[in-house]
Amino acid sequence: MSAPDPDAPARRDLEETERLADRVAAAVSRVRGVARLMPGPVATYLPGRTVAGVAVRDGVVLVSVAARYGESLPDVAERVRVASRRAAPGLRVDVLIDDVDVEGG
């Protein structure tokens, strides 16, 4: 009989964090008015890769985006929040609009 793996719970938590960050990033990328997820300090750091623009920590999801010029920023933030909550039910979602992208210039 083998000994229990003491790292198993941490691996499960990491796998769930990875799935959650990927779901939120995919959902937010489809939101009207979002130009892109913002790289930088808001990210989920995983072994071998980073999910830019989405930080998952202690029951809170922080999402950082660039909005498209001409969109109502409060509306974009609310749509991002709604999409994120669908991908991460039960978690608090905070949204940062860190930039505005102007198409063609």
Average pLDDT over every residue of 82-103 = 95
Asked whether the beta carbons of 98 and 38 are under 8 A apart, the reply is yes
Query: Mean of the per-residue pLDDT values for the chain?
Result: 89
Tell me how many helices (H) and strands (E) the chain has. Answer: 2, 6
Give the C-alpha separation, 14 to 21, whole Å: 10
Q: Return the domain boundaries, the chain.
A: 8-101
Q: What pTM was estimated for this model as a whole?
A: 0.85
Asked whether the beta carbons of 98 and 52 are under 8 A apart, the reply is no
CA 89 to chain centroid, in Å, comes to 13
Q: Is the pLDDT of residue 7 over 50?
A: no
Residue 12's pLDDT band (boundaries 50, 70, 90)? low
Query: Is 3.30.70.1350 the CATH classification of the domain at 8-101?
Result: yes
Q: Is the pLDDT of residue 5 over 80?
A: no
pLDDT digits (tens, 9 = 90+) for 49-76: 999 999 998 889 999 999 999 999 999 9
